[in-house]
Structure 1
Amino acid sequence: MAPPPRKGPTQREVARLAGVSQAAVSQVLNGGVDGIRIPDATRQRVLQAMQEIGYVPNVAARRLAGGHNRILGVFTYEPVFPTSTRDFFTPFLEGIEEAAAELDYDLLLHTRPGPQGGRRAVYHDGASRLRLADGTVMLGLLDEQRREDLAQLVGGGHPTVFIGRRDLPGQDLPYVTADYAAATAQACAALLARGHRHTLYLGTLTRHESAVDRELGYRRALRHDPEHGRVERVETVTPELVAGALRVGVTGVLCENERLTAEWIAVAQALGHRWPQDYGFAVLGDPIYQGELPAGWAHVTIPRLEMGREAVRLLAQLLAGVPAPPRILPCRWVPAASLGGNASG
């Protein structure tokens, strides 16, 4: 029979080699909690002893003891491993990784799916593994159940920052988001400057926060001329929708994403209408369903890399006990031939 595997070095062995108490080793590992200051010379002896005997701290035990172990969690309700290097979520993750490295944090990526491979969830059997980390950066769309679970997590005191504005029942959730309202207003102004007096905002049926902000920006841009703007939220673009809009004089279209844009173009072309001769358009975000937008499409670029960075900085601020108000980052407007019309935009 093979002998049982030898357990790793213990704190007691570290203390013996460093010539200090086991309590001193614990204080070094936990960053000197409870107001106890460890002399630098003692700290260096403990660290040297740990290196000599290969001691590895039990981060889960340290977390249960109330100390910070400089580990940040990353949790997303969507699959996090991209199918290509231009996946929509990749820049967020790159920004998170860069800022974590700058601030000397390790990252713990939560990838566990729900029961039987189902929807991802914060809680499994009433418990959350997110608490293994000091705090968590979160991404993804929320339905009602996910909002309730997230409110429970935040209400329980786990430091959490969401990438994207998210409204929670009874809780204030720190977040980093893009200024979708201002970007949409700028895109609408560009269409108006091109002579498109009648415009259409085309969105999906999903009323998530970024969609609400975009529509708000559209209405603000038309506050002095609201009768020449209209909003349509659809599952898919139909010939009836396109024909009806063009018939009442719509020549400028703001599309929530590139899928709706492509559908509008295909239907309009089937009806004998082409851009930029018959109408102009702009896309209100980065591509979600494909690697990059076709050439000539005017669009808004979301600061995804910087949003990832700022989420980590905001979380580090929370962990330091500093108030962390939401951060709203500007988007970049990219004019192009799809605007059509007869003036600069």
Structure 2
Amino acid sequence: MAPPSRKGPTQREVARLAGVSQAAVSQVLNGGEGGIRIPDSTRQRVLQAMQDIGYVPNVAARRLAGGRNRILGVFTYEPVFPTSTRDFFTPFLEGIEEAAAELDYDLLLHTRPAPQGGRRAADHDGASRLRLADGTVMLGILDEARRGDLAQLVGSGHPTVFIGRRDLPGHELPYVTADYPAATARACTALLERGHECTLYLGTVARHESAVDRELGYRAAMGHAPERGRVERVESVTPQVVQAALDAGVTGVLCENERLTAGWIAAAATLGLRWPQDYGFAVLGDPIYQGELPAGWAHVTIPRVQMGREAVRLLAQLLSGLPAEPRSLPCQWVPGASLGGADVPVTQ
């Protein structure tokens, strides 16, 4: 029979070695929370005792007791590895890691799988693992059930910041987002400058906040001539969708993502149409379903690394008790041959 493993050193042993009470050791671990001031000489004696006997604090127990452990949680509603969208999520995670290191926080990545045939939830039976961290940065798409889970979490007082604008009725949810309206307006203007008299905003049926913001930007750009703009939301792009747009005079298309763009190109090809000779287009974001966009595709680049960094900074601000106002970061416009149209310079 194997000998029983010896438990690690305890707070009681630390207190005995340092010549202080166990309560004093607890206060040192909790950073003096509770209004009790520990003399620096006592604190140094306790820290030295911890080092001498190899004491390692139980950060989870400290957190459950109401203390801070300088750990930030990261929760994604969609799995980030392995997945076809990992290249989309990775820059966010890189930015989160960089900012956490700068601010002296550790990260706790929550990877709890969804139940068989179910959905990944942020809170379960009122006992969320997210509360092991001081606060949480969250990513992903919210359906109505997920919004309910999130509302319960935020309503319980757990500090939370979302990457991407998310509406949560009845609650103030701090977030960091990209300036999708301005980016879409810039892309639309580029098509108009290339001589496309009539344009189409091509989106998915799902009305996520980022899609709503993009459409707002399109409508703002076409405000001076709304009759020259169209909005179409589809499950998939068919030749019938393309033909209807062409019959309405459309020559320039703004696509929410690269999957819709590829669908448009394929459907147009069945009608004998090619870009940039027969139509122009731009993609309103980075690739979600592939590593990079094909050469020549004009597109918008989302500042995903910076969004991750700013989300951590906003969460740290929230943990410090300071106001945490939502932040919107500018996107980069990348022109390309896909704009087609008149023979005028394609400028940054």
User: Do they superpose with TM above 0.5?
Assistant: yes
> What residue number does 1:216 align with?
216
Gaps of 5+ in 1: none
| Amino acid paired to 2:150 | L
Superimposed CA distance per residue, residues 188-228 of structure 1 (whole angstroms, 9 cap, x where no aligned partner): 00100111110000000010000000000000001110000
Pick closer, same or farther for the CA change 1:117–1:80 going to 2, 3 Å.
farther
> What residue number does 2:69 align with?
69
Query: Shift of the alpha carbon at 1:22?
Result: 1.4
Q: Secondary structure at the match of 2:116?
A: helix
Superimposed CA distance per residue, residues 247-306 of structure 1 (whole angstroms, 9 cap, x where no aligned partner): 221111000000000010111111011111111100000001110000000000000001
> What residue number does 1:161 align with?
161
- Name whichever of 292-301 and 237-246 sits farther off: 237-246
| Amino acid paired to 2:9 | P
Runs of 4+ in 1 over 6 A off after TM superposition: none
Given that 1:139 and 1:163 are in contact with CA atoms closer than 8 Å, whether structure 2 keeps it comes out as yes
Given that 1:237 and 1:264 are in contact with CA atoms closer than 8 Å, whether structure 2 keeps it comes out as yes
> What residue number does 1:227 align with?
227
Superimposed CA distance per residue, residues 82-108 of structure 1 (whole angstroms, 9 cap, x where no aligned partner): 458961100001111111111111111
Q: Secondary structure at the match of 1:127?
A: coil
Q: Does 1:78 align with 2:78?
A: yes
Gaps of 5+ in 2: none
Given that 2:258 and 2:287 are in contact with CA atoms closer than 8 Å, whether structure 1 keeps it comes out as yes
> What residue number does 2:93 align with?
93
Superimposed CA distance per residue, residues 145-180 of structure 1 (whole angstroms, 9 cap, x where no aligned partner): 000110010001000000001001211100000000
Write the distance in 1 (CA, Å) between the matches of 2:251 and 2:174.
Answer: 39
Superimposed CA distance per residue, residues 110-162 of structure 1 (whole angstroms, 9 cap, x where no aligned partner): 10112237321122334211111110000000000000110010001000000
TM-score by length of 2: 0.96
Pick closer, same or farther for the CA change 1:179–1:244 going to 2, 3 Å.
same
Pick closer, same or farther for the CA change 1:344–1:274 going to 2, 3 Å.
same
Given that 1:284 and 1:299 are in contact with CA atoms closer than 8 Å, whether structure 2 keeps it comes out as yes
Given that 1:283 and 1:299 are in contact with CA atoms closer than 8 Å, whether structure 2 keeps it comes out as yes
> What residue number does 2:304 align with?
304
Aligned pair count?
A: 345
Query: Shift of the alpha carbon at 1:35?
Result: 2.2
> What residue number does 1:143 align with?
143
Matches within 5 A, 1:1-345: 1-83=1-83, 87-116=87-116, 118-342=118-342, 343-345=344-346
Write the distance in 2 (CA, Å) between the matches of 1:86 and 1:63.
Answer: 31
Given that 2:85 and 2:290 are in contact with CA atoms closer than 8 Å, whether structure 1 keeps it comes out as no
Given that 1:82 and 1:89 are in contact with CA atoms closer than 8 Å, whether structure 2 keeps it comes out as no
Write the distance in 2 (CA, Å) between the matches of 1:326 and 1:124.
Answer: 27
Write the distance in 2 (CA, Å) between the matches of 1:115 and 1:247.
Answer: 48
Write the distance in 1 (CA, Å) between the matches of 2:214 and 2:98.
Answer: 29
Query: Shift of the alpha carbon at 1:46?
Result: 1.5
Given that 2:85 and 2:288 are in contact with CA atoms closer than 8 Å, whether structure 1 keeps it comes out as no
Query: Shift of the alpha carbon at 1:41?
Result: 2.5
Q: Secondary structure at the match of 1:123?
A: coil
Write the distance in 2 (CA, Å) between the matches of 1:88 and 1:36.
Answer: 47
| Amino acid paired to 1:248 | A
Percent pairwise identity: 85
